[in-house]
Amino acid sequence: MENLRCSNVIQSSVAMRKPLVKALKEVFPKMSLMQIKLFFILLEHIDWRSKVPYQLVFIDNEVAKYRLERKDKTPSSFAGVMRREYRNIISLSKVTVKIYGQPEITDFLFTGVYANNDFTVVALNPAFIKYFTHVDRVTGANMKRDYFQYSVEDIMNFTSKNSLCLYLELRTRQKYDKTLHMPVNAVNTEVRFHTKNLKEVFGLSKSDYTQTIDGVQHFNRTSFEKKVLRPALQETSQSKMIKILPPIEDECGIHEELFRKTKYNNRIKYYYIHFLTQEEIFIEQEGQYIDKEKLKEIQTRFYSLYMNNKKFIRFVEEVEQIK
């Protein structure tokens, strides 16, 4: 057990390698808004700049409760929430990571969770640790950037799962400088979505927002735009990192929307979304964590429990067996 490393930092930004981000596109729409936020709270406690891999992620329950704006009356009730929700996240975390020239990896990102009144510990699958740590390194002769970075504050401010899913999707679709392989800051990006793809971003099924007319199912585009697309664009535009821009021109005659549409054979086929990514909000000093003294205090309690609590020791022993 002495060789099992634990991460216990708290940071204002988080990051993951691109192959994992692409794999998670199929996972996030299956989660609830709270579960997506808890996923990023877990990332918030990972030192993604660390060059040393570790298997346990140590989450301060007070930080999580504050982030989620929970009003649980007792620490034990919130610990129950953390235990239940992270178990659900684990069950949804099966991904397939594909990297050109390497074997595919299909497995669960996390392998176990332990929670008490003070903290929650989540075990990373060793096969995926490299996608969470030391991700700020650059690769190749052109110093290619191989990760996406996110603002925790932005993510916690979302009140709608649809909005957050759109935000996460647009984060991966920004323009990149072809010579430096870095995000183009303060430059407009326009992305195109087929209606089917846009519904997948929001985690909607084929039958969602359809109506039956004369025995035939038709997509209720008006309802979809009113209840899903417009509110998602409006809330996303309130974030620090992404600003939705008005469309340049819309052949459908709509000029006051935050999107434009194009037709094929007299039917709407594509949605176009303009946005601006403000990358500079991520400039921060390495190791600039929140409340270091409190972290030391919690870490002391953690190691005390680590040495004396039989349930936790059993949990750690089970984690160690996963290679």
Do the Cβ atoms of 58 and 119 come closer than 8 Å?
yes
The answer to whether residues 221 and 311 belong to one domain is: no
- Measure the CA–CA gap between 49 and 236, rounded to whole angstroms: 27
CATH number of the CATH domain containing 130: 1.10.10.10
The answer to whether residues 142 and 265 belong to one domain is: no
- Measure the CA–CA gap between 222 and 228, rounded to whole angstroms: 10
Judge whether 105 lies within some domain: yes
Judge whether 162 lies within some domain: no
Backbone phi and psi for residue 64, each to the nearest 5 degrees, phi listed first? -60, -45
Query: Strand pairing partners for 245?
Result: 274
Judge whether 316 lies within some domain: yes
Judge whether 178 lies within some domain: no
Query: Strand pairing partners for 260?
Result: 272
CATH number of the CATH domain containing 230: 1.10.10
The answer to whether residues 100 and 233 belong to one domain is: no
Judge whether 143 lies within some domain: yes
Which of the residue ranges 165-174, 243-252, 267-276, 306-315 would you say has the lowest mean pLDDT? 306-315
Q: Report which of residues 232 and 251 the model is more confident about.
A: 232
Q: Which domain holds residue 138?
A: 6-157+291-320
pTM of the model: 0.82
The answer to whether residues 46 and 127 belong to one domain is: yes
The answer to whether residues 102 and 231 belong to one domain is: no
Judge whether 134 lies within some domain: yes
- Measure the CA–CA gap between 140 and 130, rounded to whole angstroms: 17
The answer to whether residues 257 and 122 belong to one domain is: no
DSSP string over 200-256: HHTT--TTTTEEEETTEEEE-HHHHIIIIIHHHHHHHTTSSSEEEE--S--TTS--S
Q: What is the pLDDT of residues 33-80, one digit of tens each?
A: 999 999 999 988 887 666 666 678 888 888 899 899 999 989 999 999
Judge whether 179 lies within some domain: no
The answer to whether residues 92 and 29 belong to one domain is: yes
Q: Is the pLDDT of residue 162 over 90?
A: yes
Q: How many domains does the chain have?
A: 2
Do the Cβ atoms of 85 and 38 come closer than 8 Å?
yes
Judge whether 72 lies within some domain: yes
Query: Strand pairing partners for 60?
Result: 119
- Measure the CA–CA gap between 167 and 36, rounded to whole angstroms: 12
Residue 145 pLDDT: 66
